[in-house]
Structure 1
Amino acid sequence: MSIIVKFFVAPSHEAAAAVVDGGPERTFESLEYGNFDAEEALIEWESIFSGRSFEELVAADEPEAVAEPDDGEGPMVFAVPRALQDALAAADRSRLAEVGRLWIQERAADGEAFDQEIATRILSDLAGLARDIGGRDHRLYCWTA
């Protein structure tokens, strides 16, 4: 479980990895959340959007770790999978609410409780970041600590 989760846009894996120690907020615009497993959430969200299984995405090494200096024991940076980034950018409000509802159901099956409004807000905020990328060759990233 990540205590702090920050999503941000960066021009490259190298630029994103450079903020692993201090976080992205001094370098990149970021969205901050807390108290959920961001790596697992990225896989679950992509699974819901794409229909691919959680196991298939894990086997494909999604999401890609671009900075993991302490073997997962400290701050880390993940690249949001392009398929998820594209799905978020294309999703309308009702689709984001539906994905949020399905994600809440998955978390409930593991004994975690999430509020629908919060889940939808996280996904909507991420969709906004994804849309802002537009034609630029940037990516969404996730920093956790």
Structure 2
Amino acid sequence: MSIIIKFFVAPNRDAAAAVVEGGPDGVFDSLTYGNFDAEEALIEWESIFTGRNFEELVDADVPDVVADPGDGEGPLVLVASLPLQDALTAAGEPRLAEVSQQWVRERAEDGEVFAPETAAWILTGLAELARGIGDPESRLYCWMA
């Protein structure tokens, strides 16, 4: 489980990887969250949005690791998949509420408690961040420490 999670938009993988040590603050606008497994959440969100099986996404190496200098023992940067980024961009409030409720149920099955309002707040923030991507080459990234 990550202590600090920051989602941000960067113009390319190299720019995103460059912030792995210190995080995106001061370089890119970011949304800060904490205390959940963001890597697993990215997979779960994509699974819920797209209907793809969780294991299928894991086998496809979703999400893609952009930078991991500590080999899993320190900060790392992930990139959200294009299907997830597109789903967040297109999702209206009812769809975001539906996905957040499903995510809360899935987390509860694993013994992790999330307030539905918190889940909705996270996904709404990510959707707004994704909608703000103007450059087609830019992507949604996640920094975790």
**TM band (smaller chain):** over 0.9
Runs of 4+ that moved beyond 3 A: none
| TM-score, length of structure 1 as denominator length | 0.98
Percent identity over paired residues: 66
The residue type paired with residue 85 of structure 2 is Q
Summarize the alignment of residues 117-132 of structure 1 with structure 2, pairs less than 5 Å apart: 117-132=117-132
> What is the match of residue 110 of structure 2?
110
Whether contact under 8 Å (2:17, 2:67) holds in the other structure is yes
> What is the match of residue 84 of structure 1?
84
Summarize the alignment of residues 1-145 of structure 1 with structure 2, pairs less than 5 Å apart: 1-145=1-145
Q: Considering only aligned residues, what root-mean-square deviation do their CA atoms show, in Å?
A: 0.7
Q: CA deviation at 1:135?
A: 4.6
Q: Which runs of 5+ in 1 are unaligned?
A: none
The residue type paired with residue 94 of structure 1 is P
Q: Which runs of 5+ in 2 are unaligned?
A: none
Structure 1: distance between partners of 2:107 and 2:134: 31
Structure 1 residues 33-42 or 126-135, which shifts more? 126-135
| TM-score, length of structure 2 as denominator length | 0.98
Structure 2: distance between partners of 1:104 and 1:32: 19
Give 3-state SS (helix, strand or coil) of 1:42's partner: helix
